[in-house]
Amino acid sequence: MKKKFLIVTNHSYMLWQFRRELIVELLKQGEVVISTPFVGHEDDFIAMGCRCIPTEIDRRGINPLKDFKLYWFYRKLLKRERPDMVITYSIKPNIYAGYACRSLNIPYVVNVQGLGTAFQKSVISQVVTFMYKIALGGARTCLFENDANADEFVNRKIIKKKNKTVLHGAGVNLDYYPVQPYPKEENGIHFLFLGRIMSEKGVDELFAAARALKDQYGDKVVFDLVGFFEDEYKETVEKLTEENIVCFHGFQTDPRPYYAAAHCVVVPSYHEGMCNVLLEGAATGRTLIASDIPGCRESIDEGVNGFLCRKKDVESLRSCMERFMSLTTAQRKNMGVSGRHKMEREFDRDQVVQSTLTIIGE
């Protein structure tokens, strides 16, 4: 008997990048309807066979009226579509679609892809904890990307321990990110940062470490930035580029050439669900340097395929980069190979998709 799945999220790009393999499998079982603000890939989803419903979401705002309208939109959508299963991603869809599903007694599974800033501030975290507790009360299960986030929800009594499921994030598509030949080192050792250029990604520490290493190694070291910056970093990025501290490449729809050109991928983030950049970099065969935090440490075996630095610590980050610089070419290559093997053992997206299908079908 054909089923109808409703996927509710806040970003079409992220859904396409990390969940399209899951959607392919869901389409084999029935109909897939997607509710999200479309900022690209709507035509791709339609070509797959999905039905798309553009949905306006104020992703970062806390306007109660807008949020109530969002809840009411989800409620009407659910009444109209009557899906057999709802799958939600990100905080507002998790909460407001969760409320609606629970009130209408429609089965739903919630994905928590990280705690984000909402749990970093005491007053806001209390409100979000309360809202999540109500929203997740009727969920079939709550999927987490790392154990620490899952334990946080259990400790806050948002969910019961039996209702948590921890997967390795979305995993990584090992075919889409194949091992790439190790690049030559004649034009310097390339450290790659790929992601949003914002404070929470640790870019202040990265920029300070890059400046220090440039003073020490000169043209023997290169710092590549790929992504878009928050407005507050526009002047900083432009200045660092003018001073030849960093090479800014802007946002790229296909990051694979940048992983291929890198010798090491750096993510000094403050918090993550599961850092896809690290998974993709390791799958490509590159050494990793990242903050020793949940969502990053899972992808690194210290000294085997990368190095872990202390969060918000410039000297610790710089020390990890210097350790990489001190390795021989053969050692750098071997660390990259070890990372690829780790991805094959632990983070294969096909395995994550199959686990998710099992959970949804229970």
Count up the domains in the chain and report the number: 2
- Domain assignment present for residue 177? The answer is no
- What's the pLDDT at 78? 97
Q: What is the mean pLDDT of residues 312-325?
A: 97
Q: Residue 53 is encoded by which pair of tokens? A: 């419903």
Residues 210 and 229 in one domain: yes
User: Rounded to whole angstroms, how far apart are CA atoms 134 and 103?
Assistant: 10
pLDDT band at 57 (very low <50, low <70, confident <90, very high): confident
pLDDT band at 61 (very low <50, low <70, confident <90, very high): low
- Domain assignment present for residue 241? The answer is yes
Torsion angles phi and psi, residue 222, rounded to 5 = -130, 135
Q: 179-197 pLDDT, tens per residue?
A: 999 999 999 999 999 999 9
Residues 162 and 73 in one domain: yes
| Whether the model pTM is above 0.85 | yes
pLDDT band at 207 (very low <50, low <70, confident <90, very high): very high
Given a cut of 80, is residue 122 above it in pLDDT?
no
Which domain covers residue 132, as residue numbers? Answer: 3-171+348-361
Given a cut of 90, is residue 117 above it in pLDDT?
no
- Domain assignment present for residue 178? The answer is no
Compute CA 182 distance to the chain's CA centroid, rounded to the nearest angstrom: 25
- Domain assignment present for residue 181? The answer is no
Angle at which helices 234-242 and 203-217 cross, to 10°: 10
Q: What is the mean pLDDT of residues 239-250?
A: 96
Q: Residue 362 is encoded by which pair of tokens? A: 């229970």
Q: What is the mean pLDDT of residues 34-53?
A: 94
Residues 161 and 240 in one domain: no
Q: Residue 195 is part of a domain; what is its CATH number?
A: 3.40.50.2000
Residues 332 and 354 in one domain: no
pLDDT band at 231 (very low <50, low <70, confident <90, very high): confident
pLDDT band at 65 (very low <50, low <70, confident <90, very high): confident
Query: Do you know the residue count of the chain?
Result: 362
Given a cut of 90, is residue 124 above it in pLDDT?
no
Report the DSSP pairing between strands 85-89 and 108-112. parallel
Whether 336 and 181 have beta carbons less than 8 Å apart is answered as: no
Q: What is the mean pLDDT of residues 313-323?
A: 97
Residue 58 Rama label (left phi>0; alpha psi -120 to 50; beta): beta
Burial class (CB in 10 A: 0-12, 13-18, 19+), 223: buried
Residues 219 and 289 in one domain: yes
Residues 158 and 228 in one domain: no
